[in-house]
Amino acid sequence: MIQVYGIKNCNKIRNTLKWLRENEIEHEFYDLKKEPLTREELEEFAYRIGLDVLVNKKGMKWRQLGLNKQELSDKELFEQLLEHQVMIKRPVLVKDEAMIVGYDEEAFEAFVE
């Protein structure tokens, strides 16, 4: 089963969930606003795919916090991401040990096989 992490009202999440349903892919959705990742879970995500991939530096929250004007260490960036999980690039799909980030139907097709 594929785990999907994101925010319910995000268009990319809606499109991802629709794609999974249309392709009859068994999945479970985790809304990061209602069920934020624990420190350990986020550390695992960051370890597996890297903070640079995981953080959405083009998002509104990134700019609202003024992070685009700061030089953050990986530790500082991680702490910001832990506190503001809406900055996680969406969707994050997890299947066993594999993980992909971002909406890409071609990547989804390869991922679910």
Ordered domains of the chain (ranges, CATH): 2-112 (3.40.30.10)
Asked if pLDDT for residue 93 goes beyond 90, the answer is: yes
Asked if pLDDT for residue 68 goes beyond 90, the answer is: no
- Per-residue pLDDT band at 51 (split at 50, 70, 90): very high
Looking at every residue in the chain, the average pLDDT score rounds to 95
Asked if pLDDT for residue 103 goes beyond 90, the answer is: yes
Residues with a catalytic annotation lie at 10
What would the mean pLDDT of 25-34 be, rounded to a whole number?
96
pLDDT at 65: 93
- Per-residue pLDDT band at 46 (split at 50, 70, 90): very high
Q: Which pairs count as long-range contacts for 13-19, CB under 8 Å and 24+ apart, including other chains?
A: 13/90, 13/91, 15/103, 16/90, 16/91, 16/93, 16/103, 16/108, 19/105, 19/108
